[in-house]
Structures are given as structure tokens and as C-alpha cells.
Amino acid sequence: MARAPDGPVPVVVMGLGFIGQEIARAALSSPEVELMGAVDSQPSLVGRPLGDVLGQAGPRFKVADSLEKAVGRRKGVVVLHATSSRLAQVMDQLLDALKLGLPVASTCEELAFPHLKYPELAEKLERAAEKAGVAIVGTGVNPGFVLDRLVATAGQVCGPVRKVLASRVVDARTRREALQRKVGAGLTEEEFFDLVDREELGHVGLVESAALAAVGLGLDCDDFEEEVTPVFAEEDITGGAFVVKKGRVAGMFQSVVGLEEGQERVRLELTIAVGADNPRDRIEIDADPKLVLEIPGGVAGDRATANALVNAAPRLTAAEAGLLTVLELPSGR
């Protein structure tokens, strides 16, 4: 295992969308990292001082259009990557970072457990990371914490696990407009299912969370079944980025069931809807002893994701080289 860093770890943020900017702000407030660069492909951002992009007094270095330019000759840099949820769309970016010898913590949800859907891509990343002698991991709040890593951590005080039910309820009014649109708020039922069929709606990464939860609890699931259904507004709902009319879609209910020889062992449920009642994160582990853990209000998604990446950076510099999951990161800071 590599030696832990002696001082703040230099980091570069790649991707300056909403989450990327949250990551940059989290990095600026962390004593464990030093934000020394930012990368984005948008012409409107390239060449601008990062502080101007963030709308705050802060770093005056300019946004670069490539990792090579952002990193320069600095050694020991970790990439905090936030550009897309789909692994195939970011493979070239990840491989470029690894070729430069840079560890990567990414928000790409499918990177959280790529062995499940993309074993060939996972193997390619594994080889590239080992060749470079660095670690790469996909993390965030979900996947990355609430419905997988926290589940696995809670299971450490239980005997053999028979079944786990973990659920997350999010009132989308507390989140950005883009997420409200992503879960279908304001759509008709027909429009909702049309976007689901085109894989343009829904939460990416719930299957990966189920697989991680199973691994972390010592369960041997051989199949996963996923379903996405709409949540409808029973009355006009205000308070979000726009009014959701009665009868329209307010959001979505998404579930994944992990099966072992046809028997349900893992069930994850995610509700994200404008006006969702009783926001919370809840974990129920059927074991001896039985364990129930609930977080009233739930973990704040965007800020938690940003902090997860920033806090992972120093851990990656001391990790074994290769493609990791969050289960292989230290549980403490």
C-alpha cells in the first residue's frame, strides 16, 4: 500500500457542471486537498478564472481544456471527475487520466460497480490503473454511500444476513431543476414511459448500489431486477422550479431486487418526487440481531456527493493500484 500524503493533496476538477462546481467549492473548503486546476470542454468556460465560474472570490487560475494543461508538471495530483453518469461516455476521459498517472475519483454512477454491466470495460480500466500504479473509484451519495456503503457498514454488527431493505425518499423541491426534470416532474404518463424506454429518465446506479450492498453483506445475488414507475401529483404542487399540475407526473419510484436462486435477498427503493412526503434514508437488515437505521430528512445529495469525492482523494493516494469500489476505501476520514 502506498504511503499516506504528508500534506494537502493537489486535486483537479474535471467537469464544471452543477456537481463539478459543487466539488470545486468542497475542495476549496477542505484542509485535506489543494484545488490547483479545473478542466472543461465548454468554450464558454475555457480560459475563464475558476473563481468567476463559481461566482465567488477564489482561485484565479483559469479553466483548462485538457488535463495535461491543468496538471502541468505538478506531481501527486488526483482527478475529481464529474462529466457523465454513463461509463461508455467517459471511458476515454478516465483512460487519459490513468495514462497520465493520475488517480481518479469519479461521480460516474456506472463506475461504482462496472463489473456488473460492463465487465470488459472494467477489465480495461483495471489493467490501465495497475499499469499506471494508481487507483480509480466511482463514488458519491448514491451509489457510493447511502444504499450501499452505509448498508455494508451497518451489516458489520450483524450475524448472517437473510435480507436487506434500504430505501431513500427525496423531495425533489430541495434539489436543482435539472434533477426535477430528470425524474419526470411535469410529464404525462405516456411521456414518462417513453423517456424510460429511451433510458433518458430515472436514476443511474441503483443496480450498481444493489450489487455493492450484496457484496458488502456477504450475499451471493445472481440476478437483479429493476423497475421504474411514475409518482403522480394528487394536487397542484408548488415550491419547486415549476408548478406540477394535478394528475401529472411528480417524480418516480425506482426499485431493484437482488435475487439468489430466485429468493429475494436485497431490495433497494428510491423515491424522488416533487412534494415527496417524509424524506428519509432507511436501512432494515434482517439478521441476528435485526438492525434498523434511519436518517430523518436523508443525506443531502449534491453536497454529499461533492464531499464524497473530495474526501476520497487523500485515500486514493494511499490505496492499492487498480479499479476499486467504495467498499475498499477506508471507512473513516
What residue has cell string 464524497? 308
Instruction: Give me the CATH topology for the region 9-140+303-328.
Output: Rossmann fold (3.40.50)
CATH label, 149-298, candidates 3.30.360, 1.10.357, 3.40.50, 1.10.1660: 3.30.360
Sequence spans of domains, the chain: 9-140+303-328, 149-298
Stated pTM of the model? 0.94
pLDDT at 5 over 90: no
Residue-wise pLDDT tens digits, 286-329: 999 999 999 999 998 789 999 999 999 999 999 999 999 999 99
Q: What is the pLDDT of residue 59?
A: 85
Q: What is the pLDDT of residue 1?
A: 44
Element (H, E) at 259: strand 249-260
Cβ count near 307 (within 10 Å):
21
d(CA 204, CA 186): 20
Cβ count near 245 (within 10 Å):
13
Separation in Å, CA 293 to CA 161, 166, 281: 15, 9, 8
d(CA 41, CA 234): 42
pLDDT at 4 over 60: no
